[in-house]
Amino acid sequence: MSPRLWGLLAVVMTAFAANSILNRLALTATETGPASFAGLRLLSGALMLAALVAIRRNGGGVLLRPLPAAALLLYVLGFSFAYVGLDAGAGALILFGGVQITMFAGAVIAGEHPPLRRWLGAAVAFSGLAWLLWPEGASAPPLGASSLMLAAALGWGVYSLIGRGARDPLASTAGSFLLASPLALLLWWGLRDGMDLPGAGLAVISGAVTSGLGYALWYRVLPELEASAAGVAQLTVPVIAAFGGLLFLSEPVSLRFVTASVLVLGGVAWALLGERKGRG
């Protein structure tokens, strides 16, 4: 891959990590419920992206496509509701493990032939992720919450696979948010699970910036990557999120964190070396 593509991937993965932190923070540290957060998140993203589509000088309008919108809605709702009953580490493992399966399966079905290096790199990276995130002596996670996170993984994997064919990333992402947000808002209205000002602020930042703009950039990057490579790259997200905790929350640096991070980042780098689809 070119240095430009590596840089874009780093920005996107950092946005994803920030988005995960914002979501968990809203659900655990404020009086905001999962339906409320998801609804305001999608609405904020839709408004931000629609405004950007409207003010740009070149290009058409918003692209309204039901399938990516449904996949996005499945991801956002599954993710928000799953974290009510899941430990953050277990949730991340289920999510990114499911994303790997979905995207590698999609790659094989589409006729892609991931090299052995990519399979091995993904295995090494996920092993490091499991070591980093799974707490010692933890019991099996709740079935209901785990199922919701698996549904979120399926939704995100499908959304990402569809994005590889996006010709207008901004318009495509805006259309998905615009179609998904009314259904999420309807669920919010039906459940009325609470919203306070700090939670609303986190939802708006998550929707407008780390989700809306981050996903539009993801759709910009995806056509330059093979599907399996795009899946492997996302294994860096929990490590970036954990590093953010070290940096901003003054959490201690452990040997486990350092070793596991080396495994994850090294495995991802090994898996992506030789990726030639990106030309930028």
Quick one: tokens of 3? 């240095």
Q: Are 134 and 89 in contact (CB under 8 A)?
A: yes
pLDDT for position 280 = 39
Q: Residue 114: count other Cβ atoms within 10 Å of its Cβ.
A: 19
Q: Residue 168: count other Cβ atoms within 10 Å of its Cβ.
A: 18
Summarize pLDDT for 105-160 with one digit per residue, the tens: 999 999 999 888 899 999 999 998 888 877 665 566 788 888 999 999 999 999 99
Q: Are 94 and 148 in contact (CB under 8 A)?
A: no
CA distance 39 to 59: 28
Quick one: tokens of 33? 């419920």
- Look up the pTM and report it: 0.89
Summarize pLDDT for 221-259 with one digit per residue, the tens: 999 999 999 999 999 998 888 887 677 656 667 788 888
Sole residue written with tokens 């452990």: 254
Which residues have CB under 8 Å from 189's CB, separation 6+? none
Mean pLDDT over the full length of the chain: 88
